[in-house]
Structure 1
């Protein structure tokens, strides 16, 4: 059985400054094939959520198969949505 795909989308920006990596609301990344394009700080925060979703867990207070998180850059605060996509 193939493991689920993971799609990461930037859904909002709460900070006052643009992302130093150039990410914008609406950008989408396939975790398996495009993780090198994703900001390393955001990827570091995303990984535990991805691991939980990919292997059958659920994030409290989140819809099934999804998680939202913020990047750790306080000046930018991009908000990301992770979606598990069953193949």
Structure 2
């Protein structure tokens, strides 16, 4: 059962420039349900993504775009992966 006030969030790999050392593939998706991840996300990328995951889990909105998603890059400047972080709608 989903906790009140906590939304599920999807992390999706949009693109990779170079060769991702964590073996992420374009199109890969991971669902975040509270603090449980349905799959693997590179720890370095996850540190960059997590603040945005928390905003969406707690029903916050971003002041850009549709407010329910954003695109974030991992910190690897040589093999840049871009991720979409989006609230899952029921």
TM more than 0.5: yes
Rounded Cα–Cα distance in structure 1 between residues aligned with 2:47 and 2:81? 14
TM-score (normalised: structure 2): 0.81
Runs of at least 5 residues in structure 1 that lack an aligned partner in the other structure: none
Tell me the number of residue pairs that the alignment of Structure 1 and Structure 2 aligns.
85
Aligned-residue offset at 1:56:
2.1
Q: Which portions of structure 1, spanning 4 or more consecutive aligned residues, are displaced by more than 4 angstroms?
A: none
Rounded Cα–Cα distance in structure 1 between residues aligned with 2:32 and 2:20? 19
The residue that corresponds to 1:28 in the other structure is 29
TM-score (normalised: structure 1): 0.83
- Local SS of the residue matching 2:48: helix
Rounded Cα–Cα distance in structure 1 between residues aligned with 2:80 and 2:38? 19
The question of whether the paired residues in 1 share the 8 Å contact of 2:74 and 2:81 is answered with yes
The structure where helix makes up a greater share of residues is 1
- Structure 1 residues 54 and 10, CA, compared in 2 at 3 Å: closer, same or farther? same
Rounded Cα–Cα distance in structure 2 between residues aligned with 1:3 and 1:36? 19
What is the aligned-residue RMSD (CA, Å)? Answer: 1.8
